[in-house]
Amino acid sequence: MSARIFIDGQSGTTGLGIAERLAAIPAIELVRLPEEKRKDPAAKAALLREVDLAILCLPDAAAKESAALVAELGQSAPRLLDASSAHRVAPGWVYGFPELADGQTEKIRSAARVSNPGCYATGAIALLRPLVDAGLVPADHPLTINAVSGYSGGGKTMIVDYESGIAPDFELYALGLEHKHVPEIVAHARLARRPIFVPSVGNFAQGMLVSIPLFLDALPGGPKAADFAAALAARYVESEFIRVLAADSQDRLEAQSLNGSNALELHVYGNEAHRQALLVAKFDNLGKGASGAAVQNLGLMLGLDVAP
């Protein structure tokens, strides 16, 4: 028997990516509202009663409205997977990063409501949470997180601007230091101090690098870069999608080679002479950073063997 799935907001970048990944899976039946009833609450409620799981690919305000509508359905309500940033630190929602910590996969499997991680947050948390848990980076340590994303992460308007040649080749943004991914980074990396987060976008469609520089002598215990690599490798040794790569002699790292996959690579670079290290996460902002992660979570929630 097929699992019936409704993508609320399927026309957006993340929704399209999820639909494309699910379309070829025989155990999945994608259900859609007729276009003329897309904004009809009664029609949406009727459809939600008939599906096993709904995926919210909506702006935050609309995602909250849909979640409230589902809550009103009581025993007829489907399970929810929210790809917006509306519920990533909300009570009653399980954070959809299976590799976060021991037991997180089981929490996702049994949850009624799962919030898919943000793209930048995925890289930052993957790097920081194991190091905070291991005591290598204190929770209150001052951190700077830098990141660059392909323009597909900015939605339809940004995609049009870049593909029509209107947008610049590279730009920093969120310079008010209020990016919406910061609260989930703080919460799920277990930070006690808000980091400085500096995102940017480049003139390429997909791909992401998240980097965190560290002064080793500012950390307790005098760690080496190899200690960070060992802690990350120990955390993700059994992960299907996250791999920790040994540092090599290359002094450049491009952002796009993992596009189309759900893989996430973690790199640790160090200069012992200067007592400095650089942590880098590399992945597809539309893969492990969005649609791929959503399909991974959907597979866990429904007990299906799906390829994200």
**What is the reported pLDDT for 39?**
77
Contact yes or no for 19/64 (Cβ under 8 A) = no
**Catalytic residue chosen out of the listed positions 53, 56, 119, 279:** 119
* % of the chain surpassing 70 pLDDT: 99
Burial-class residue 186 by CB neighbours within 10 Å (0-12, 13-18, 19+): buried
Contact yes or no for 239/126 (Cβ under 8 A) = no
Contact yes or no for 181/118 (Cβ under 8 A) = yes
And the tokens for 25?
Answer: 């899976």
Residue boundaries of the structural domains of the chain: 3-117+290-302, 119-285
119 is catalytic: yes
For range 22-39, the mean pLDDT: 86
Number of Cβ atoms within 10 Å of the Cβ of 103:
8
**What is the reported pLDDT for 25?**
87
CATH 3.40.50.720 fits 3-117+290-302, yes or no: yes
SS3 290: helix
**What is the reported pLDDT for 123?**
98
Q: Which CATH class is domain 119-285?
A: alpha beta
**What is the reported pLDDT for 37?**
78
Residue 247 has pLDDT above 80, yes or no: no
Question: Model confidence over 51-66: pLDDT tens digits?
Answer: 999 999 999 999 999 9
Distance CA 151, CA 136 (A): 34
**What is the reported pLDDT for 36?**
80
Q: What is the pTM of this model?
A: 0.94
**What is the reported pLDDT for 307?**
76
For range 92-119, the mean pLDDT: 97
Best CA proximity match to 135, nearest among 221, 212, 236: 221
Residue 157 has pLDDT above 80, yes or no: yes
Confidence of residue 196 (pLDDT cuts 50, 70, 90): very high
Confidence of residue 249 (pLDDT cuts 50, 70, 90): low
